[in-house]
Amino acid sequence: MSVIFRELVPEDAGRLLSLQHSLDEETAFMLLEPNERQTSVQQVRERIESTAKSANSILIGAEADGELAGYISVSGGELKRIRHSAYIVIGIRTAFQGLGIGSGLFREMEPWARSCGIVRLELTVMAHNERGIALYKKCGFEIEGMKKKSLYINGEWVDEYYMAKLLA
């Protein structure tokens, strides 16, 4: 399988939205539940354009054999005191997990982050998402703390870990 990692452009809006809808259906590890996402293609296009204009934010997609299989969103802080910090969201279609796409997205993103002066990468992950936690640890992230009862999913409280990686 051929995988290409590249920054997403406004023309990818429909494909990214389709990927996000698929992730909402396939996994309970993303924030939105099935049918909860009300974003339009135009709104996704505008988000991609806005991200591209930001000095410390990026959207990178992973194309596997021409299909958008996953993405990583890195959103840098806008205020001076947090401009060095960026929050990460990553999603990979179930059919493409375990093939190195997650690691590849992080490898693609990290040199870009360093070049932008980002010192701190952070994310949250559900405490029972063992596969996600393993990926993040493999990529150098450490657990910094726990958000108890962070989410309410299918009638159950779910804790989340705060994880971070310092680049400098």
- Domain extents for the chain? 3-118
CB atoms within 10 A of CB 11: 9
Band (59; pLDDT cuts 50, 70, 90): very high
Q: How many CA atoms lie within 13 A of 95 on its CB side?
A: 10
Contact 49, 10 (CB under 8 A): yes
More confident residue, 1 or 93: 93
The predicted model gives 18-46 an average pLDDT of: 92
H or E, element range at 132 = helix 130-138
CA-to-CA dists, residue 91 to 31, 46, 60, angstroms: 11, 20, 11
Helix, strand, coil shares of the chain as percentages rounded to 5? 35, 35, 30
Residue 120: pLDDT over 90? yes
Task: Decide if domain 3-118 falls under CATH 1.10.357.10.
Answer: no
The model carries a pTM of: 0.94
CA-to-CA dists, residue 19 to 5, 12, 166, angstroms: 15, 10, 29
CA 123 to chain centre: 8
Sign of the four-CA dihedral 134, 98, 92, 87: positive
Residue 168: pLDDT over 90? no
Residue 84: DSSP 8-state: T
Q: How high is the pLDDT of residue 151?
A: 96
pLDDT in tens, 82-113: 999 999 999 999 999 999 999 999 999 999 99
Band (65; pLDDT cuts 50, 70, 90): confident
Of 146, 132, 148, the C-alpha closest to 29 is 132
Coil vs helix vs strand at 4: strand
The predicted model gives 125-134 an average pLDDT of: 96
